[in-house]
Amino acid sequence: MFLAVAQSLNFAQAAVSLGLGQPTVSQHIRKFEQAVGRPLLVRDTRSVILTVDGEAMVVDAGAADPARFSASEPLCHFGSDGVPGGSVAAAY
């Protein structure tokens, strides 16, 4: 999910590519940032940009196994309690 937003730099476009609603994507990204402990994206009313940490996360995700990640796959799966499944390191 994070990679979909990072690639499009647009929550609505990422949501469409994932087949989800934009509020769901926003909520998952917010919870993922909380789990990581730092902001990965800077949002305002007109744009989304990656932070330095967000850029590093994208690079790390691609370096881990590029074939494993695509914009249509969530970077991290969240349980019903909103906590990422597995460790954050395993998520990327």
pTM: 0.67
Structural domain span for residue 71: 2-91
pLDDT in the model for residue 86? 44
Domain count within the chain: 1
Which CATH number does the domain housing residue 45 bear? Answer: 1.10.10.10
Q: What are the helix and strand counts (H, E) for the chain?
A: 5, 2
Q: What is the pLDDT of residues 75-90, one digit of tens each?
A: 454 455 554 444 443 3
CB neighbours of 33 closer than 8 A, spacing ≥ 6? 39, 40, 41
Residue found by looking up tokens 């994208």 in the block: 58
